[in-house]
Amino acid sequence: MVIAIFALGALAGASGLLLGFAAIRFKVEGNPMVEKIDAVLPQTQCGQCGYAGCKPYAEAIAAGEAEINLCPPGGPNGVAALADLLGRDPPPLNADDGLEKPKLVAVIDEQSCIGCTLCIQACPVDAILGAAKHMHTVIARECTGCELCLAPCPVDCIHMTPVAETITTWKWAYPGAAVRAAA
């Protein structure tokens, strides 16, 4: 009887020490789910979801404060990927935040640009190049198409143009009934 109590007590004590050590030694900083969710989001940093960027939205989802269907650039595929990650059923995209659009890129009309730098400050990914009282231009390759530069422009010289399909970005379509095999 005494031996049993002693043995179990010792076992419990040792396990407690081990667990306590592990909790300190292997402590995870922050919520690891945030990184995973952030990796699925399209990183446009557009704020259409109502949060200040993709990371804050990922944090809100991880904390259970936000729905997973608020990201229009991610589209239905993005919602499905989030649902898959979180083990939920994919809800339809919330239309209030906007709809999925074709890929866009911002273009500055260089004739009208007055060099006010407001768009440079608004760009979340530093994709606009220029200096005060000098013409600005968009680095098209870095532009995420977030449209955040449109509103601050005092002369409305920025417009969004669809990214043209090229030989390298062209994709074979999902086969329809009309497709024949040539042989």
Partner 1 sequence: MSRLFPFHGGLKTVRHKTESNALPIEPGPLPRRLVVPLRQHMGNVAKPSVQPGDRVLKGQMIGQADGYISAAVHAPSSGVVAAVEPRPVPHPSGLADLCVIIETDGEDRWIEREPVDYRRLHPSDLRNALRNAGVVGLGGAVFPSAVKLNPGGHCERVDTLILNGAECEPWITCDDRIMRERAAEIVAGLAVMAHLLEPLKVLIGIEDDKPEAIAAMTAACAGTGYTVRAVPTRYPSGSVKQLIFLLTGREIPEQGLPLDIGVQCFNVATAHAVHRAIAHGEPVLSRIVTVTGHVQRPRNIDVLLGTRFADLIAQCGGYRDGVERLIMGGPMMGFALHNDDVPVTKATNCILAASAEQLTPEQPVMPCIRCGACVDVCPANLLPQQLYWFARAREFDKARDHALFGCIECGCCSYVCPSHIPLVQYYRYAKNEIWAREQEKEKAELARQRHQARQERLEREKQEREAKLRQKAPPRAAAETGTETTGGAG
The secondary element (H helix, E strand) that includes residue 57 is helix 54-62
Piece of 15-23, 64-72, 122-130, 154-162 that binds partner 1 (CB under 8 A): 122-130
What's the maximum distance between 2 C-alpha atoms anywhere in the chain? 93
Piece of 8-16, 63-71, 130-138, 166-174 that binds partner 1 (CB under 8 A): 166-174
Contact 137, 130 (CB under 8 A): yes
C-alpha distances in Å from residue 129, one per residue of 17, 42, 148: 57, 23, 15
Piece of 1-9, 87-95, 107-115, 174-182 that binds partner 1 (CB under 8 A): 174-182
Cβ 113 to partner 1 shortest distance, Å: 21
Q: Strand pairing partners for 174? A: none
Half-sphere exposure of 166 (CA within 13 A, CB side): 2
Cα-flanking dihedrals φ and ψ of residue 142, to 5°?
-95, -15
From 49, 54, 157, 158, residue interacting with partner 1 (rule: CB under 8 A): 54
Q: Is 132 in the site for partner 1 (CB under 8 A)?
A: no
From 126, 132, 133, 154, residue interacting with partner 1 (rule: CB under 8 A): 126
In the complex with partner 1, the residue whose CB is nearer, 8 or 101, is 101
When computed from its CA atoms, the radius of gyration of the chain, rounded to whole angstroms, is 25
Q: Is 170 in the site for partner 1 (CB under 8 A)?
A: yes
Site for partner 1 in 11-50 (CB under 8 A): 38, 41-45
